[in-house]
Structure 1
Amino acid sequence: MHFFILALLLTLITQPILATEMRYPAGEEPIELPMHNLLNAQLPRPAQSHENKKLEAMSLYLTLMREDNHNVWAPYKLAASSAEKGQTELAERYLQLSAKRGLWYYYNLLEDDSFTNIQHSATYRSILAATKARYLQHAHQFEGKASYTLPTGTPPPEGWPTVIFLHAYCKAATISPEKQLLFGEMGVAYIEINGTQMLSENSFRWSNYNDESTQSAIQRVIQRLAPVLKLNVKQVYLSGSGQGALHAANLMAKYPQFYAGALLIAPKGVIQPVQHSLAAHKRIVVVYYDRQHFSSQALALYFANLFSEGNQVQTLHFALAEDATHSGQARFKQPLQWILNQTPETKPRS
């Protein structure tokens, strides 16, 4: 029954039901039914109005909330929908139920515009405080947590060159076997770091307010791992994708003494890009995709121009983002080798 309810939710939420994108905690995502499943063989039905879709979504959330006594997300979404309609008492009641079940998704609650009408009420503020307390207790062990892989063999006398990767929004630090093989072949230590703000299980972001917490997280990891893993702290290279690339670009510009070069893959995000760069004599590759929004392409080109004075900068563009046939490992191997000065005579190609 749960699978059927969640499958119907998937159909609904792929339409613009709510003003903001709906993000589900791990383990509570709608499950897509197999194509041969009889539940998918439905007759066409008339187009529903926006309000009808919202009502149907609320009905399904109510069912899910009743059938799963531990689900925090269903009452949370019901609270948000009720608050949007001005039903403040009902919104607070559902939010209290979500909190009673252990709601700890602090940033979701803090930044959800649906609760604008009740954000100054005593009930909302007490729930927010309790959610923050649970968040701090749970998230601290995961925020900024590093995963790493090392080449086999003895490190160079000065230590391993090191690439640090900052993931995109809502991702986590994960090192695939392909990445282990790639960086092992290149003779480079590779580190991924979870974002500094946890959204849900295995979902992180870098701060939406500034890049200083990102710089602090990276330096803590380097200071802790450098003596243990034999890292060369003078050859630390930044890499990032999406929101991580925006933070990496800002840090490259503000703290070039810590970083030897950078690979910036489709930077985007809400923090302000730096206006000036202190970086000099660095190798930097900036990547964008043809099918990105114009503003995202413009941000990539902005950084390419910002770093162009006093540095070696290459701008690459691809038709599509990474997929099964255009993996990041294959696509970015040559640009990484160029940044690392492993193939100085060859410039990376799109």
Structure 2
Amino acid sequence: MYFIILASLMALASSSTFATEKRYPVGEEPITLHAHSPLNAQLPRSAHSQEDKKTEAMSLYLTLTREDERNIWAPFQLAASSAEKGQTELAERYLQLSAKRGLWYYYNLLEDNAFKNIQQSDTYRSILAETKARYEQYAQQFEGKPKYAVPHGTPPSGGWPTIVYLHPYGKAAEINPQDRLLFAEAGVAYIELNGTQMLAEDSFRWSNFSEESTQSAIQRTLQELTPRLKLNPQQVYLAARGQGALHGANLMAKYPQFYNGALLIAPRGSIPPAQHSLAENKRIMIAYYDRKNFNDQALALHFANLFNERNQVETGHFSQGEDAIGGWQERFNQPLRWVMGKSADASPGA
């Protein structure tokens, strides 16, 4: 029953989603909240949610809080909802309950606008410090970690060509059977990485500061896996979506010596897009969706123009996301083969 309730909660809350010492890259250390400093809220609670959905969500959170004494997320959401309504004492009470159960969702607590009215209170700041400590101890075992699939059989001379995939905001590395079949048929190794900052279980993002930690995570993974999986370090390609695509585009512009080409799907995010590119003689496919806002389309076209001068660049735009046609494999199989030089045609499917 708890799993059913939790699945319902995550769907309803999607708009507000949420030992050894760890050495973080410069700028990547979990930041400390300073008095009166503005927060860059990445997880705003929607002001346009329907009241009946809010009521239903709170009812489910209350049920789960009572029936599952180990659940952290339910009292956290009750605290956020109470704080948003100005119910300070109740908010702190639920937040203390979540902390007592082991709250470690550091970035959710730090960046959620709902807590702006209590973020200077002693209770909030104490819980934030506890949460940060738990986060640093727990999240390091998952951040930037890879999942991978390698074709059966003997690798070609020089090793397997390799695709490195960077997921959108709030996702995690996950290779499904369709992915395995797609890349096995293409004769390439496939690596997915978790983002470098963990938000919650199976939810990660890439840095909002710069692409440097992403580059470090990729190179660290390739250094470890290349001899073990017999990868070809001279044939590494990027495939990325959403926030991962913005990072991938910046990496292609700044570190082209590490990547042979890129498939960049709907880039978006907070880091500044590269204004100069060192990439030459690369194959780069950039896709965007008409349903996205103007800034997202402009960002995709910015990268198309940036790379166009000294590279082979193809663009594609669609009226809806790939999920509507059954998966990104169907739409981007052909463009990905073009990026790798396995096809002369970059036309997307469906």
Task: Please say whether Structure 1 and Structure 2 have the same fold, judged by a TM-score greater than 0.5.
Answer: yes
Partner residue, 2:328: 328
Larger radius of gyration: 1
**Cα deviations across residues 76-131 of structure 1 (Å, max 9, x unaligned)?**
12222222233333322221111001111111111111111222222212111111
Return 56-65 or 275-284, whichever deviates more: 56-65
Partner residue, 1:29: none
What TM-score does the superposition give when structure 2 sets the normalisation length?
Answer: 0.83
Partner residue, 1:68: 68
**8 Å CA contact 2:335, 2:345 repeated in 1:** no
Deviation at 1:337, TM superposition (A): 1.4
Structure 1 gaps, min length 5: 15-19, 25-48
Partner residue, 1:107: 107
Report the Cα distance in structure 1 between the residues aligned to 2:220 and 2:148, rounded to whole angstroms: 14
Return 284-293 or 57-66, whichever deviates more: 57-66
CA RMSD for the aligned pairs? 2.6
Deviation at 1:287, TM superposition (A): 0.6
Q: 1:206 to 1:313 in 2, by over 3 A?
A: same
SS in 2 for 1:281: coil
Q: 1:319 to 1:121 in 2, by over 3 A?
A: same
Write the mapping of 1:75-94 to structure 2, written as runs, cut at 5 A: 75-94=75-94
SS in 1 for 2:323: coil
Q: 1:216 to 1:3 in 2, by over 3 A?
A: closer
Write the mapping of 1:101-180 to structure 2, written as runs, cut at 5 A: 101-180=101-180
Q: 1:112 to 1:164 in 2, by over 3 A?
A: same
Give the partner amino acid of 1:155.
P
Report the Cα distance in structure 1 between the residues aligned to 2:51 and 2:340, rounded to whole angstroms: 55
Report the Cα distance in structure 2 between the residues aligned to 1:316 and 1:51, rounded to whole angstroms: 39
Q: 1:175 to 1:60 in 2, by over 3 A?
A: closer
SS in 2 for 1:287: strand
Report the Cα distance in structure 2 between the residues aligned to 1:304 and 1:192, rounded to whole angstroms: 24
Give the partner amino acid of 1:123.
T
Report the Cα distance in structure 1 between the residues aligned to 2:147 and 2:60, rounded to whole angstroms: 39
Q: Percent of aligned pairs with the same residue?
A: 67
Deviation at 1:8, TM superposition (A): 8.6
Return 294-303 or 236-245, whichever deviates more: 294-303
Report the Cα distance in structure 2 between the residues aligned to 1:334 and 1:93, rounded to whole angstroms: 54
Report the Cα distance in structure 2 between the residues aligned to 1:196 and 1:231, rounded to whole angstroms: 23
Write the mapping of 1:190-269 to structure 2, written as runs, cut at 5 A: 190-269=190-269
Give the partner amino acid of 2:272.
Q
SS in 2 for 1:142: coil
Partner residue, 2:27: none
**8 Å CA contact 2:333, 2:348 repeated in 1:** no
SS in 1 for 2:158: coil
Partner residue, 1:275: 275
Report the Cα distance in structure 1 between the residues aligned to 2:239 and 2:228, rounded to whole angstroms: 22
Report the Cα distance in structure 1 between the residues aligned to 2:51 and 2:182, rounded to whole angstroms: 50
Q: How many residues align?
A: 319
**8 Å CA contact 2:263, 2:286 repeated in 1:** yes
Give the partner amino acid of 2:109.
L
Partner residue, 2:17: 23
Q: 1:304 to 1:142 in 2, by over 3 A?
A: same
Give the partner amino acid of 2:240.
G
Report the Cα distance in structure 2 between the residues aligned to 1:125 and 1:162, rounded to whole angstroms: 45
SS in 2 for 1:323: helix
Give the partner amino acid of 1:23.
T
SS in 2 for 1:21: helix
Report the Cα distance in structure 1 between the residues aligned to 2:92 and 2:189, rounded to whole angstroms: 49
Return 218-227 or 296-305, whichever deviates more: 296-305
Report the Cα distance in structure 2 between the residues aligned to 1:181 and 1:162, rounded to whole angstroms: 15
What TM-score does the superposition give when structure 1 sets the normalisation length?
Answer: 0.83
Q: 1:330 to 1:9 in 2, by over 3 A?
A: closer
SS in 1 for 2:117: helix
Structure 2 gaps, min length 5: 19-48
